[in-house]
Amino acid sequence: MTTIRNVVLVHGGFVDGSGWQGVHGELTRDGFRVHIVQNPTLSLEDDVAVTRRVLDGLDGPAVLVGHSYGGVVISEAGTHPNVTSLVYIAAFAPDNGESVSALIGGSPAPPILPPREGFLFLDRDTFAASFAADLPGQVAAFMADSQVPWGVDAFGGSVTEPAWRHKPSWYLVATEDLMIPPPAQRMMAERAGAKVVEVIGSHAVYVSQPAAVADLIREAAI
């Protein structure tokens, strides 16, 4: 069996790629070449283009991984010829024509605040409880204070042809997630025909449990 050595990690809304540091450490110790996509999260089209530029620069095939809104990005960008498999980490896995907006039923709901000048933010006071309940308080507070504005065009961006229809996928369900309900995660994973693992963790499971996330990525690399 051939093991894929490239892994491309795509973050979601409200955060940047630094949250992947623990997963990066786990995988690089095993000899993987890990690439962190820094999406501006202004629009889906732009984030897909940024991700594809990273994929263009690889020297071989890769596992493409997305957390949260990053799942929308990898669903669209994952048709790239360098992508062999997809890994969704507590992520949206849209079908043709679907967006985050469509999957959650339209308008942003608490703890997402109403749009401000075309951008979305999470309520700072409830960020820890809703997004990162299993992280140390200081870490969750820093994440709340360092939020990246999430563009409403990214929130509403629709997938045209989901890569999971053509490539094998894996899905990590975070059972304590208060941002994407676990039943919705299971539905999307089943629809995508993904191999599923469940981990007791918050929406920030990629930060709180990097070893479990890395284990699933290793599985997808074989």
Specify whether 68 is catalytic: yes
Residues 6 or more apart in contact with residue 105 via CB below 8 angstroms: none
Q: Which residue has the tokens 């039943």?
A: 183
Catalytic residue, candidates 18, 43, 68, 85? 68
Task: Decide if 87 contacts 66 (C-beta within 8 A).
Answer: yes
Instruction: Indicate if the alpha-carbon torsion angle 146, 171, 30, 40 is positive or negative.
Output: negative
Q: 104 near 95, Cβ under 8 Å?
A: no
CB atoms within 10 A of CB 53: 11
- Tell me which residues are annotated as active site: 68
